[in-house]
Structure 1
Amino acid sequence: MKIKSLLVTAAAGAMVAGAAAADPVNLRIQTHHAAETPLGRHITQWADDVNVMSGGDITVEMFFSSSVVGSVETWDAAVNGILDCDATGAAYQTGKNPAFQFLGDIMGGYDTPWQQYSWLYQGGGYEDAQELYNAYNMQLIGWSLFGQESMSSSRPIAGPADLEGWKFRSPPGMETEIFEKLGASPIVMDFTDIFTALETGVIDGADASALANNVAMGLYDIVGHASFPGFHSMPSDHLACNKDVWDGLTEQQQRIMEVAWQKLSLQLTLYMDVANAEAAAQLTADGIVLHDWSAEDRAMFRSMAQEAWADWATRSPEAAALVDSHVEYMTVLGLIN
């Protein structure tokens, strides 16, 4: 027993020594979300988790509200060493490769965030995504999902007919094409410009985020309508790091960041389930009109989205591969035939 105790003590000492040998790292990370939003608060907690679990070997310097570069430029800033990691989303990078659309926002695809997470971790999505990220010298760490987004508007948006001539902020990518076919006038602009554009009447509405996030941004201080529950868009924000930076971390440091981000993902999605329901109740009490599209209108939108998937699948081999992967997995889940 004495020999066994000595061996255990020696092994524990070696583990501590190994952990202490890791070089301290400071990671500069930008997100387009404000610090006071749900994701902003959860990222702050993630940074603290990473610091505590690493014994202080990893510190995170967060830049909120795209304060260093524009949201769409965050990726390049990480690739070029201005930042270390990008906490925005893949859909901002569709100009580099259309395949990023199907890692950022499938549009009209999965019904719940849990289904979309399961594609990443159980449906082979993580491996497919990593191959694309690595081609641009980036490493995907994980996703965070708010659930279905809600559109905000200064006028009713009760169904497809109300979209005719509707000027709204849209993220770049496939969404602009789908909504143009529905008669809307999407305007691509930075996430941080939405409030001012609504306030000045440059746009009638916005596809910004989930309902509770839209409340936190103050959008319903300006406009009186929203779509809820959402159906059109469920974007995945990501954490992606410069691959050289990532490869320079120890395996222990990498595992800490990955596991801590999975905690963030779980906690954020659970939080948003409740926060969106509470926001809907409060907005209704405040006189904001929530529009729930009919099953027929939702089915029509999903059909148009699938036509867009097929078109985008022709634009690069990587896009085709990701569309095939999503369709195969959605078929397994019974979401499409």
Structure 2
Amino acid sequence: MKLKALLTSAAVTAALAVPAFAETTLRIQTHYGPETISGKNAAQFVDDVQVMSNGEIKIEMFYSSSVVASVETFDAAVNGILDCDMTGGAYQTGKNPAFQFVGDIMGGYDTPYQQLGWLYKGGGMEAAQKLYNQYGMELIGWWVVGQEALSSSKPLDSLEAFKGWKFRSPPGLETKIFEKLGASPIVMDFTEVFTSLESGIIEGADASILANNKGMGLYDIVKHATYPGFHSMPSDHLACNKTVWDAMPENQKRIMTTAMQKLALQQALTAEYENNKAAAELKAAGVTLWNLSTEDRAAFRAAAVSTWPEFATTDEAKALVAAHTEYLKSQGMAN
């Protein structure tokens, strides 16, 4: 009986020593629809976090910017309407141009792995974190889909072909870079692209990766594309309200950051798979894919890097440009 009592007492003591179950519920918004490549990968991220945390972390994911507009997601997380923002830093360039250099580092990198290398190995996380913390947010990680493809009604076989080329461009840094190359970027809403291509107002468009462009039907209208891409590789982020993040136990933080790194790998692998599949189908359908030479790619990067300082008008932006430039030099990718 004494032994039984001792064992019972030890079991009670051990049970009391176990920390209380800490449950965290996160409301996260993404601009992607659940049926897209990115939306499906985001759903897998949610499942990974909930399973690895054994239910300690519960995530309520809002797809297709269903709570607030995409550009308002960051502020909604800051103000407590949401807990985390799973869109991208490029939406916040109006706050600070520094967000350009964590949102879309135009011309900087050829592959998602290089860009993730800057974040995780080149001091990028530390440099970016200062920017996010300044606005009451914590950067948890990136997921990079890969280089976007330009669609065109004429061949894009070299940088020379871009002279006079009229195409739909997003506002900001991209217009500056392509203007230096002699192109004629026209800023317009994406909803106007199809009619503008059909009527000849523009000759091409910067929209998305090759697989997405194909899915949207762009190559039913124009028959040329750049692939692999070279000009734009947006980084989507997961950024959370810093107060919410700081209150989470360390084990939950580790689960979130680890799951983000898995998401980054899956996003890059999935996009590469889908892009190569789309490339084969487009070639068979008579669409010509243009792969710029190594020399032309280097020339575009040089034009982009030389334009970065023109857009980096704040101390935070200058710091990020310096971090990217030093990393590119360390990798032999820039002079």
CA displacement at 1:46 relative to structure 2: 0.4
Mean CA deviation greater in 132-141 or 59-68? 59-68
Residue 332 of structure 1, aligned match among 320, 330, 333:
330
Does 1:168 find its partner at 2:168?
yes
Matches within 5 A, 1:1-337: 17-18=18-19, 21-25=21-25, 27-160=26-159, 161-162=161-162, 164-170=164-170, 172-181=171-180, 182-187=182-187, 189=189, 194=190, 196-201=191-196, 204-313=203-312, 315-337=313-335
What value does the CA root-mean-square deviation take over the aligned residues? 2.7
Paired with 1:317 and 1:92, the residues of 2 have a C-alpha distance of 19
Three-state SS of the structure 1 residue aligned to 2:302 is: helix
Paired with 2:152 and 2:254, the residues of 1 have a C-alpha distance of 42
CA displacement at 1:143 relative to structure 2: 0.5
Paired with 1:112 and 1:163, the residues of 2 have a C-alpha distance of 26
Paired with 1:275 and 1:21, the residues of 2 have a C-alpha distance of 41
In 2, are the aligned partners of 1:144 and 1:236 still within 8 Å (CA)?
Answer: yes
Paired with 2:203 and 2:254, the residues of 1 have a C-alpha distance of 44
| AA aligned opposite 2:325 | V
In 2, are the aligned partners of 1:312 and 1:320 still within 8 Å (CA)?
Answer: no
| AA aligned opposite 1:200 | T
TM-superposition CA deviations, 1:176-230 (whole Å, max 9, x none)? 22123333223154xxxx3x32333276543232222333444434443321111
TM-score by structure 2 length?
0.87
Are the structure 2 counterparts of residues 199 and 110 from structure 1 closer, same or farther at C-alpha, using a change threshold of 3 Å? Answer: closer
Are the structure 2 counterparts of residues 215 and 328 from structure 1 closer, same or farther at C-alpha, using a change threshold of 3 Å? Answer: same
| AA aligned opposite 2:93 | T
TM-superposition CA deviations, 1:251-273 (whole Å, max 9, x none)? 22222111111111112212222
Structure 1: gaps of 5 or more residues:
none
Are the structure 2 counterparts of residues 254 and 137 from structure 1 closer, same or farther at C-alpha, using a change threshold of 3 Å? Answer: same
Three-state SS of the structure 1 residue aligned to 2:196 is: coil
TM-superposition CA deviations, 1:226-251 (whole Å, max 9, x none)? 21111111221111111122223222
Paired with 1:310 and 1:93, the residues of 2 have a C-alpha distance of 18
| AA aligned opposite 1:327 | T
Identical-pair percentage = 57
| AA aligned opposite 1:174 | L
CA displacement at 1:300 relative to structure 2: 2.8
In 1, are the aligned partners of 2:21 and 2:56 still within 8 Å (CA)?
Answer: no
Paired with 1:186 and 1:299, the residues of 2 have a C-alpha distance of 24
In 1, are the aligned partners of 2:49 and 2:57 still within 8 Å (CA)?
Answer: yes
| AA aligned opposite 1:238 | H
In 2, are the aligned partners of 1:154 and 1:223 still within 8 Å (CA)?
Answer: yes
Structure 2: gaps of 5 or more residues:
1-6
In 2, are the aligned partners of 1:179 and 1:186 still within 8 Å (CA)?
Answer: no
Q: Report the equivalent of 2:3.
A: none
Are the structure 2 counterparts of residues 34 and 152 from structure 1 closer, same or farther at C-alpha, using a change threshold of 3 Å? Answer: farther
TM-superposition CA deviations, 1:112-169 (whole Å, max 9, x none)? 2212111111111111111110000111010011221112234444444345251314
Are the structure 2 counterparts of residues 201 and 128 from structure 1 closer, same or farther at C-alpha, using a change threshold of 3 Å? Answer: same
TM-score by structure 1 length?
0.86
In 2, are the aligned partners of 1:37 and 1:216 still within 8 Å (CA)?
Answer: no
In 1, are the aligned partners of 2:137 and 2:239 still within 8 Å (CA)?
Answer: yes
CA displacement at 1:43 relative to structure 2: 0.4
In 2, are the aligned partners of 1:169 and 1:205 still within 8 Å (CA)?
Answer: no
How many pairs does the alignment contain?
324
Paired with 2:91 and 2:192, the residues of 1 have a C-alpha distance of 20
